[in-house]
Structure 1
């Protein structure tokens, strides 16, 4: 438990450093963009290549992935039913709301949480790949269909995941691991060095955004926002835990990883998708803010109960 608390403390200190640097005007919003882009396009893919290449992924991608998927399915299904029957949302708004209820911030927060709280970055890979290769393409295909007079091309749907750097890096690392080969030092060492920037860059950028970014105003229906928050931070991790323990027989370390990662807040890229399709923008914005503010206390409770 002490090590887990130390991991949370490390994350909070680096986020606080980012906020302090923003307050002192050492970093600004342009710096946040640079840090985020560097982490997204360069450092995080390099990190996933080296981590997955050095990891036996067969166990991680079996029962852990199944338990995580159960949590996603239950949370999103409950929202879809409520959105259609109670809130009377159309198809596009329903998709955005379902993503808010079940699509976790596996990139910006999942990697540092896995690194410093759980102790193994590879454990975030199943969630990351499931979202990038399955959930996001499927959701965007439905949004394309619901908002466009012409259906998207098959190639656009198939190639979408392969245009995401994190997906490409994860797939390369996964392929190296499954092939049982070792990356030569001239390739592995530069990737390892660059990948080391990923977590601190993400946390510093997040701290800058907390200090300088605009806070969300009122707009989303309180009942809908409350439901999304409960689904994201309570229903999804509890369901993933129950599935992992009673259906798939995960050990205590795997259960902690699955439950904590399922309690991550809504990913910021959901707001990007909502803005792109002009559907559920206010709900996405407020759901990201509320779930991000509440996620750390929720994860503290999970760790206290399971660690």
Structure 2
């Protein structure tokens, strides 16, 4: 249907393979034309089929065209009057279009991929919408009553807006653009911004845009994170930071995990971009969660103390 819509807007031409004597070439293809009236007729038929499927409680997103055919219809006979009592035949041929659609079960893998892509797009949209408030992360959970979205920001007032206008605007956009079912947005303030990798990366990017040297920005942020009590942090600044050749500089402290279960569950990642005159500089911050217990950390508990009482028997022997 998208292709037919482009044909009606004359943005996409239909290629011709026969009767090409008077058909001109189109951009990006050989001979072709824009059959606007025919495309509109086919669109109307497809929309009617979709409406019938919806009336029969079928999932319109999983419809597949099983059969489509165009056959010759009846002829409407008309006559065009001429001078001196004459008349010329002006017959109109009709076409019958038959479409059969069927609902198919979507593969689970394709469904999971679609949900993951949609979740990524939603997260990217919310990050851009709340970037000025210090976006720190997002959590999405599906419930029987809708979709619960929790936003972690540095300044909740900028996200909520006056009388909740900003949150309502984001909610309407999620329903209209991303088809999120009944989104319920909850805004929470980040307890310690220096322990949030997304907030730290954004601060470094803003410092670089203000003209700070990359070493000063990296060391200052690293010192602030260490003072906040982080168990491990890695700051990577990559791009044209000291010349025409792009390179990367790392600032590290503590324990950093790259692979395995600690790398997946124990590390948090934040990424931001600084736009400078010489180009774009990427800032990546990875932190080890303070509440995450590493598998090589073993704690041995103390045995409970037991009181020992001295017992004296009748024959004078002592025992325990």
TM-score past 0.5 threshold: no
Q: Tell me the TM-score normalized by structure 1.
A: 0.20
Q: Larger strand proportion, structure 1 or 2?
A: 2
Identify the structure with the greater helix proportion: 1
